[in-house]
Structures are given as structure tokens and as C-alpha cells.
Chain A
Amino acid sequence: MSTPANLRAEQLMRHRPPALLLGTVVESTTSGLACEGIDDGPWRWARLLEGAAQAAGLFSGLQPGGPGAASVIAEYRDVAIHAGRHDGRVRFHAALDRRILGFWRCRVDAHSADGRLLLSGLVAVAPGAQP
């Protein structure tokens, strides 16, 4: 399955500004998703992490049998903060690392427009049935 390029993430997500951190979906396949950040920052590391998590949630939510639109983040693991803050454009990537029961663990990263790695790690996405 693939999603047409240049789709706006807000058409697929329940996040709304200022929480919505993804802009245009530039690539979406069964193996991964790439998405532009919604603005030029500033991107403190936690905002980068939230953007990466949104990319993981969007990617897994688009897959057959995925956790659905109400998914939540269950865990972060091995997240390396390469930049405490970034000003400028950002691109997020998410790809499936492994499925564990109902969880979709994704490898995520955030890069600057010139290709510098800003943040990387693993995000586990769970179906959103928590209280």
C-alpha cells in the first residue's frame, strides 16, 4: 500500500495546532514514511521527539492491521539527542522495526534540511484503548 505524495498529514491525523507537527507527507509505503515538519522551528529536542512519534503513529496507522487513528505512544527506547535545539526545516522518517503483540515498534529519526541527524530512536505505538 502507498499513500499519494504531497498529502497533508492533518488530513490523516487527529492532532491539531499547536500539537500537529507534521506537514506534507513526502513518501509513504509499507516499509516506511517520510514527512516534512510543519514549520521552521524552533525545534527543541522534545518537539523533535514528538514529531518523530507522530510520524511513527501515522506510519503504523496507515498499515493494514495497524493500531488505528486513536493509537498512543507506549514506549521510547534508545533515543539519541544529537541536537538540543534546531532552527530550520526538519524531515521525519519512520519505519517498522518489529511488531510485538499489538504494538508497532518503529525506528524513527529527524534530519535537518542539509541532512544532519538531529534525533534518532525507537518508538512503540499501541492501540489507543488506555484509560
Chain B
Amino acid sequence: MSDPFARVAIEGDTGRGVVRREHAVALAAGHFPGDPFLPGAYLVELMAALAERVAAPARVSAIVRCAFARRVRPDTEIVVTARAAGVLVEARLEAGGEPAARATLRLA
């Protein structure tokens, strides 16, 4: 996966990343024609990508839970935040300023 973020800020055990618009458009291709939104699995991947930057060199080994609140259109601003605490990372994803997904990820 190419770098999904246009901007990333890491401070201590927290991070914030703004997703590149072109990357979001690519992830939504074919999902679905005339009604594009990002697949949930790729929203988890965006949260995991930021989690791994916050907790480097640890890698995400499991998704404890990820819940979705709304569809994420590729033409909206997508912002991911993550906070590491031990082997877990709490991540959030907002689309157009609205909460869209939240996840607990396990690191290895």
C-alpha cells in the first residue's frame, strides 16, 4: 500500500493523519458504481497504518473490534487519530468532521 496520508503528526503515544484524497478514491473504486464509499476493511487498514506509525516498530496483529457509524465517501476529508496504550491502540476515523468508525487494535 502506498502512503495513505497527506499529513501525519505524531506526538508521544498519539497520532493524527489526514488521508490523501487520491488514495481514498482508489480504495473506493468499484464499491459501488454510482454510489461510491470506502469498504470498511480499508477504513480499518487506514487506522492500522496510523497505529503502526505511532507504535513503530510494532505491527497490528488483530482487530479486537471495529464498529462503523456511517458511510465514508471518497470526496470527503478523512482524518484518522490513534492512541497507543501497551499492546492496544484505540483509533478513530472521521469523515467530513463526523465520527465514522472506531477500532481497538492489538499490536504484536
Interface size on A, residues (CB 8 A): 28
> Are B62 and A79 in contact, CB atoms less than 8 angstroms apart?
yes
Chain B contact residues: over half helix, strand or loop, or mixed? mixed
User: A73 — which chain B residues lie within 8 A by C-beta?
Assistant: 39-41, 68
Determine whether A117 belongs to the interface, using a CB cutoff of 8 Å to chain B.
no
Q: Could you give, for residues 41-78 of chain B, a 1 whenever the CB lies within 8 Å of some chain A CB and a 0 otherwise?
A: 11011001000000000011111111110110000000
Alpha-carbon gap, A80 to B30, bound state (A): 26
Interface residues of A in 67-93 (CB under 8 A from B): 72-81, 84
With contacts defined as CB atoms under 8 Å apart, how many contacts are there between chain A and chain B in the complex?
82
Alpha-carbon gap, A81 to B58, bound state (A): 14
Q: Could you give, for residues 37-62 of chain A, a 1 whenever the CB lies within 8 Å of some chain B CB and a 0 otherwise?
A: 00000001111011001000000000
> Are A121 and B68 in contact, CB atoms less than 8 angstroms apart?
no
Given contact pairs A44-B1, A79-B63, A19 touches B41 in the complex (Cβ within 8 A): no
Alpha-carbon gap, A44 to B63, bound state (A): 15
User: B48 — which chain A residues lie within 8 A by C-beta?
Assistant: 46
> Are B30 and A16 in contact, CB atoms less than 8 angstroms apart?
yes
Q: Who on chain A is nearest to B42 by CB?
A: A46
Determine whether A4 belongs to the interface, using a CB cutoff of 8 Å to chain B.
no
For residue B97, give the distance in angstroms from its CB to the closest CB of chain A: 15
Q: Who on chain B is nearest to A121 by CB?
A: B63
Chain A interfacial positions (CB closer than 8 Å to B): 14-20, 44-47, 49-50, 53, 72-81, 84, 121, 130-131
Chain B interfacial positions (CB closer than 8 Å to A): 1, 28-33, 39-42, 44-45, 48, 59-68, 70-71
| Closest 7 A/B residue pairs (Cβ) | A19-B30, A46-B45, A50-B41, A19-B31, A79-B63, A49-B41, A73-B40
